Amino acid sequence: MENKKTELKDVSQGDIHDYDTILQYFNNKPVVQEKKDVYNSITFVTTGIIQYDGGQTTMLHLGTLLSREGYKVYYLSYVPQSKKDMEANARSNYENYQGTCLTMDKLDSHKSDIWLATLWESAYVIKNKSGYKMYFVQDFEPYFYPFGDRYQLAKKSYELGLHMISLGPWCADMIEKNCDNVGEIDKITFPVDLEHYPYKHRSLKRYANSNTYELAVYTKWDSSRRAPINIQLTLMNTQELLKKDGIKLNIHYFGSDKDKKFINGDNLGKLNKQQMRDLYDRCDFGIAPSMTNFSLVPFEMMSTGLPFIDFKEGTGKYFMPKNTCLNVNFDEYNLSNLFIGVKDDVDYLKSTIDNAQKYLQTIQWDHTLRDFVKIIENI
């Protein structure tokens, strides 16, 4: 029987040559921690610095606060990227960041009191360096991959013996439930940036009297953690249900490349802080699915006074009290009922916005900094 050519391909499981530049760091040599009485220098080891990356924005914000506390802070890339590009992208993510960007050629010569891995690959890169080795965990990274060797390598990174710092409680919970021989793990506050996303009062009459809602939706086309397929399908069906009740739902996606073609709504592309603030101010609701660890975006939306819709299937329950957001199941029936119900209960909407503002005051960046510095001081 003649074999016919087909365009279908097996799911890519990865290529070892993706790691050619750091192959030497992958081994099972145990971690040896070197403790000191005082720690002066901290180095985040990162996959370069990428624009519009929430995790790296968090890294830069934390590094800046640590720099202001008197620590010498460095951002060291373990992938090829020029210093000029690192610095430009860092400014784009966090304009007045502090700390020194170091290129890959400094990977073996740079010295630091504390090393901080920021992705599972970098855990292997730093684990046998001289100094105290920590791991800034911002997600449960085995979930980034199909079940296979990269899944296993990512999972094992939590079992290497590095001192782990979980951004929020969910990562720590997942590691403790799914990994063996887990070493020291601490949790720090998942913070909100109130300074760059100031609160703006909105009239609730617009909700009761309008038959059109504007919806800001953050998702990432290439990240299943932000449910890019499910959110489009659910909102497509929600629009049809609302149309029967005479309600029009206008959808404004952002967070993906501008050339991506969404099946409904408009794609605004990747936005800077001012553009996001403008979007939140003119919209009636915000959605930002978080299927694994939380995103910065929900808190930023809530900070401006935008009512935030969270899905029960995600991880929001780890980060937000129930009365601070609009909590629904991830389907068109629950979502459309929420939009219809709001028209008859704007007092509930006001209560939710007020509760969110009170809660956000308790999770600011100074709380995160205090958590982190206390951990360092107690090593």
Residue-level pLDDT, tens digit, the chain, 379 residues? 455 554 545 445 678 999 999 999 999 999 999 999 999 999 999 999 999 999 999 999 999 999 999 999 999 999 999 999 999 999 999 999 999 999 999 999 999 999 999 999 999 999 999 999 999 999 999 999 989 999 999 999 999 999 999 999 999 999 999 999 898 999 999 999 999 999 999 999 889 889 999 999 999 998 889 999 999 999 999 999 999 999 999 999 999 999 999 999 999 999 999 999 999 999 999 999 999 999 999 999 999 999 999 999 999 999 999 899 999 999 999 999 999 999 888 999 999 999 999 999 999 999 999 999 999 999 9
Residue 129, pLDDT score:
97
What residue type is assigned to position 143 of the chain? Y
d(CA 290, CA 315) in angstroms, rounded, equals: 6
Q: Give the residue from 255, 248, 252 showing the smallest Cα distance to 270.
A: 255
Strand arrangement of the beta sheet that strand 326-328 belongs to: 266-267, 248-254, 212-218, 285-287, 308-311, 326-328
The Cα angle at residue 360 between residues 93 and 69, in degrees rounded to 5: 55
Distances in whole angstroms, Cα of residue 239 to Cα of each of 42, 98, 211 = 49, 45, 12
Question: In the prediction, which pLDDT does 11 show?
Answer: 47
Helix (H, G, I), strand (E, B) or coil at 307: coil
Q: Encoding tokens for residue 148? A: 């296979």
What's the pLDDT at 50?
A: 94
* The pLDDT of residue 247: 96
- What is the rounded distance in angstroms from the CA atom of residue 242 to the CA atom of residue 232? 15
What pLDDT sits at residue 189? 97
Bridge partners, 24 (sequence order):
none
Other beta carbons within 10 Å of 146: 11
Q: How far is 46 from 67, CA to CA, in rounded Å?
A: 17
Strands (E), 282-337: 285-287, 308-311, 326-328
State the burial class of residue 224 (Cβ atoms within 10 Å of its Cβ: 0-12, 13-18, 19+): middle
Contact between residue 135 and residue 162 where contact means Cβ atoms under 8 Å apart: yes
Q: What is the pTM of this model?
A: 0.91
Q: Residue written as tokens 């995160």? A: 368
d(CA 362, CA 265): 35
**Quick check: 322 and 222 in contact, CB under 8 A?**
no
Name the token pair of 12: 């890519």
Is 264:327 a contact under the CB 8 Å cutoff?
no
